[in-house]
Amino acid sequence: MRQVTRLLAAGLLLAGLSLPAAAATPERVQVTGEVIDTWCYITDIMFGEGSTHHQCALWCAVGGIPVGVLGDDGEVYMVLKVGDDTTNVANPAILEIQTHRVSVDGDLYERDGIKYLLIDQVVNDEGIVNVNHDDFGIQPFGE
Amino acid sequence: MKRALTLGALALAFFASQPAAQAAQGWGLPEEEEVRFDATVVDVLCELTGDCPDNCGNGTRQLGLLDGEGVLHFVHKNFTPFTGASWELQDFCGKMVTADGLFTTNKGYRIFVLQFVREGADGKWQRANRFTGQWAEKNGVAADSKEAKQWFRNDPEVQRLIDEDGVFGLGADADKAYFEANQ
Ligand SMILES: [Cu+2]
């Protein structure tokens, strides 16, 4: 594994690309999408979107798994901050908007294939609009 | 373990067939890789922006593993159900650790599951499952109790949110309609 990483790093250097700097400049963005539990969604271990997954998304957020926004562009944005609050483990403010469709303004940092979003402001909160529990039940245990 | 690693491919084949006590355990995740690597435990937000509270925020910040090539690995999971890894790594803030676990890649993202961790190369291996004990202590129950094992159903914060908005987050009427139709 480490060998592979080294080879990749060497390959990047040979290709004339530099490795990411420690502190990069963010991009100002507005993202619209659904607040999700990133673990269940990325791994597909269950159906991880919408009302069907709301309870599990609360469990995971309270359990300290990173919460994200699944953008309408299909990208997953890992939320590291909301407003002035830089708590990004089990943040009670993020729990209140779990599964909601939101539009947020913030700074986007990309590092080693992951998109990290520092939200300044939730500019629109439509609540939970992805109502899919009649199709998928209660993920993952049915209760 | 150390000796075997120096044997390269032979050793890899050996470990693949005979998992050591503290070696990564496959979970059948997409594009799963069982890995062990050395890295420094960092506060991800601090690493990105320079906003660096003492001691990696004392459990309030997602932590990452910065490897020897400067690659930041985002740590998503620990070894217990529905729980992350920040609190597993908190004691190692700023320190070099050996991390053992799984990478999984899906939908274009490669994320890490921490299963075991030790400080430096000679530290004692620790299973990344401290969450349950910490939760049990906070909630005044035994670590091996039914309540602690099903912490997600017994957590007061979770219960408060479900009581407020229902299982689907859509209110009590949506719950009632669903349970009536599906009993
Ligand atoms: Cu889930």
pLDDT at B15: 38
The alpha-carbon radius of gyration of chain B (Å, integer) is 19
Per-residue pLDDT for A93 more than 60? yes
Structural domain that includes position A75? 26-136
Q: Backbone dihedral region of B102: left (phi > 0), alpha (psi from -120 to 50 degrees) or beta?
A: beta
Measured between CB atoms, does A80 come within 8 Å of chain B? yes
Q: Does A127 map to a domain?
A: yes
The dihedrals phi and psi of B50, each to the nearest 5 degrees, come to 85, 5
Domains of chain B: 22-128 (2.40.50), 130-183 (no CATH)
Residue A23 pLDDT level (bands cut at 50, 70, 90): low
Please list every residue in chain A whose beta carbon sits closer than 8 Å to the beta carbon of residue B30.
Answer: 43-44
Q: Which residue has the higher pLDDT, A95 or A10?
A: A95
* pLDDT tens track for A47-57: 999 999 999 99
Query: Residue A34: helix, strand or coil by DSSP?
Result: strand
Per-residue pLDDT for A97 more than 50? yes
Residue A33 CA from chain centroid, whole number: 10
CATH of the domain at A58: 2.40.50
**Among the partner residues A65, A76, A86, nearest to B109 by beta-carbon distance:** A76
pLDDT at B47: 97
In whole angstroms, give the CA distance from residue B79 to residue B18. Answer: 21
pLDDT at B18: 40
ipTM of the complex: 0.87
Q: Does A74 map to a domain?
A: yes
- The DSSP element (H or E) to which A66 belongs, if any, is none
Regions in chain B scoring below 70 on pLDDT: 1-21
Q: Which residue has the higher pLDDT, A4 or B119?
A: B119
In whole angstroms, give the CA distance from residue B78 to residue B118. Answer: 14
* pLDDT tens track for A10-22: 444 444 444 444 5
pLDDT at A24: 74
The neighbourhood of ligand 1, an ion, using CB within 5 A, equals A 40, 46, 56
Span A65-92, mean pLDDT? 97
For chain A, what is the domain count?
1
